[in-house]
Structure 1
Amino acid sequence: MARTPIFLEKRGYRRRRMMDAVRLLPFLGLMLWMVPLLWPVPEILPDATSETPEPAIAMSVALRYLFGVWALLILATWALWRRTRDVASGDGTENTDGQH
């Protein structure tokens, strides 16, 4: 039997991918906010066995990073909101029978 290709409407596919991006954004933000936890921390008491201490990241750099991630999340949320709003308003005739 010949299999027919599955046809996905371009507009519906884009709308689903945009909603996937909206759902993924909080997790991406959480992962980016946890990156400073991986940065080296200055040692309060120097260890006698360590010859070269790891350089510590300054608090100002960490705060700028967190603020930058926060600002990028706001911009990404706004951009995704605009895209999903435009895509959703462009197809008012689709799914009029209540089915998904």
Structure 2
Amino acid sequence: MARRLFLERRTYRRNRLEDAARLLPVLGVILLFGPIFIRGDEAEPPILAGGLVYYFAVWIGLIILTALVSRALRRVGGQDSADNGPAASEDQS
């Protein structure tokens, strides 16, 4: 079976955006649980306000990244379905 060596630009972009959407939860877990494993000086208690600001910033950042990736996927997906016409939507169901 011959492998396809070249993908169209839209197909390649859609695949990379889908990969990014799949990796966002992994990025979120790393960013949220990473500071737990990084410990500074054990003699001083951690500053709670700084931690809360960090978690809030990560949370907002993940929401913004998810919205951007979702919008880009919707835009790329809309172009593909418009190019293929109504027959493409019938084949996908």
Percent of residue pairs bearing the same amino acid type? 38
TM-score normalized by structure 1?
0.72
Gaps of 5+ in 2: none
Q: 1:32 corresponds to which residue? A: 31
Q: Determine which structure has the larger helix proportion and give its number.
A: 2
The reply to whether residue 18 of structure 1 matches residue 17 of structure 2 is yes
Gaps of 5+ in 1: 44-52
Deviation at 1:7, TM superposition (A): 1.6
One-letter code aligned to 1:16: N
Deviation at 1:38, TM superposition (A): 2.3
Contact 1:39 1:57 in 2 (8 A): no
Task: State the structure with bigger RCO (CA 8 A, min sep 6), 1 or 2.
Answer: 2
Contact 1:18 1:84 in 2 (8 A): yes
Deviation at 1:40, TM superposition (A): 2.5
Q: 1:58 corresponds to which residue? A: 47
- Whole-angstrom CA distance in 1 between matches of 2:67 and 2:33: 22
One-letter code aligned to 1:62: G
Q: 1:82 corresponds to which residue? A: 71
Deviation at 1:98, TM superposition (A): 3.6
Cα deviation code 1:29-70 (max 9, x no counterpart): 000001220233675xxxxxxxxx4x5541111111000000
Q: What CA RMSD, in Å, does the superposition of the two structures yield over aligned residues?
A: 2.4
